[in-house]
Structure 1
Amino acid sequence: MIPFLIIFKRNIISFKKRAWGTLISGIDPLLFLLAFGFGIGKFIPSVEGLSYVEFIAPAMVVISVLYGSFFETTYNAFVRMYYENIYTAWLSTNATVKDIVLGEMLWGAFRGTLYAIIVIFVLSCFGLIKNLSFLIIILVLPLLGLTFASIGMFFTSVVPNIMFFDYLYFVYINPMILFSGTYFPINILPIFLKIILKTLFPLYYAVKISREFYLGQSLDIINIIILLIITVIFTILGIKFLKIRLIN
């Protein structure tokens, strides 16, 4: 078996031992859906022709992908690398740094996809999925997960210590969740700010993809291409800097 698939398989086996606790840790998007969609949403007449809960529903799906894949390739990956020395053990086999990065990314994308499917199930229970074509997004979720996982592995390869991730979530992840067209359309913002957000926040493109599926609109392939480019860039950077950290 290819080494990075072995790494992926190892993480799945480890996941099975703590599955319930891990799944519970990914319910944040559902809490936001209940609080904002069914709470605050009652005071908002409509957004872009949709009820507020319908506007944020597709965004909650991709936010769950972000949470699952990014958390797994930051905090958990750093623990495996630094505290448990699992990366060193993998490198003593025929696995390479590239295998480690790809295996961890694949696992992060899998976990993020799993979270998103749970959110989709909850949305269906609330009767919020009125267009069955939205379910096609399940095929795209792994790509979204790989994008966020590649960014996570890059940061894991360069952060000085695990506490740095707290700052990362505060100054990057939380703003990205708030200002990517998730809770309000960013077209109400100044043009220069929209350009900055579109440049820094890949979640913006993931939200657009999810909302297109949700509304049954034709998919803008440009958004897919942008996420693929981001994934390739950060995968290459992650491999490069993790190699420096582990070998040099």
Structure 2
Amino acid sequence: MDTVSEQWRQDLDLIIDAAREAGEIAHGFFGASPEVWWKNEGKSPVSAADFAANDRLQSLLLKARPNYGWLSEETDDDTARLTMDTLFVVDPIDGTRAFLNGEKTWCVSVAVVHRGSPVAGVLVAPALKEEFSAVAGGPAFKNGAPVSVTSGRNGSELVIAADEALVKRFDPTFRSDVRRVRHVPSLAYRLAMIADGRIDGTVVKRDSHDWDLAAADLILDRAGGCLTDLASNRLTYNRESVSHEMLVAGAPHAVGSLLPQLHP
């Protein structure tokens, strides 16, 4: 077993333990009307649960890996991360709106990113008692069992999560074979739904961020799927800008079907 692989496995164990602890903290606020503030000019909520989970993750992870960088939705960005080969990319609660509305589809998302690519990732969804994880070169797991994306059987409908207005712009013939699922506010959890085969794919609106995507991207990749931009390029993380344009994710058959529908 090579040293690098062992390093990422040890990092995976570390972030799983930390994400579980953060998940327990966040779950303690779930359904208890935590204090809420608004950011991004009043467009995005952030709660006391987000900050509490973030503080625990930052304390546990940077104490264990003081030489790693840090990027979190709930921490002021420090450009020193750009000088780091390896960093933690964290969303303490992905799906805060769902969390505040009493919906269970939220999760703690933690990734280790090395030279622009995720090498270890975990999603912990305490309210659902679900946990997804993967390490570079290994399989993707849900609650300890391997998962994989759909195979695209001939004649079956394409099950996707996408904005209704966007789907209406698809070619009518293609659209007749598409079934939309109910919107899932947590982008990370939506990608996990592709990884375990519940849906075939999704379209991600512009302005998603590294912390929404990094852990779920690796889990989806190791489950046999992919996340790309509209030019079929895989994502690079830890750039100066951490936001992304429109993306498509899914099993290979779904991505291949969706991409032509998304070009002008």
Do they superpose with TM above 0.5? Answer: no
Structure having greater relative contact order (Cα 8 Å, sep ≥ 6):
1
What is the TM-score with the length of structure 2 in the denominator?
0.33
What is the TM-score with the length of structure 1 in the denominator?
0.34
In terms of fraction of residues, the more helix-rich structure is: 1
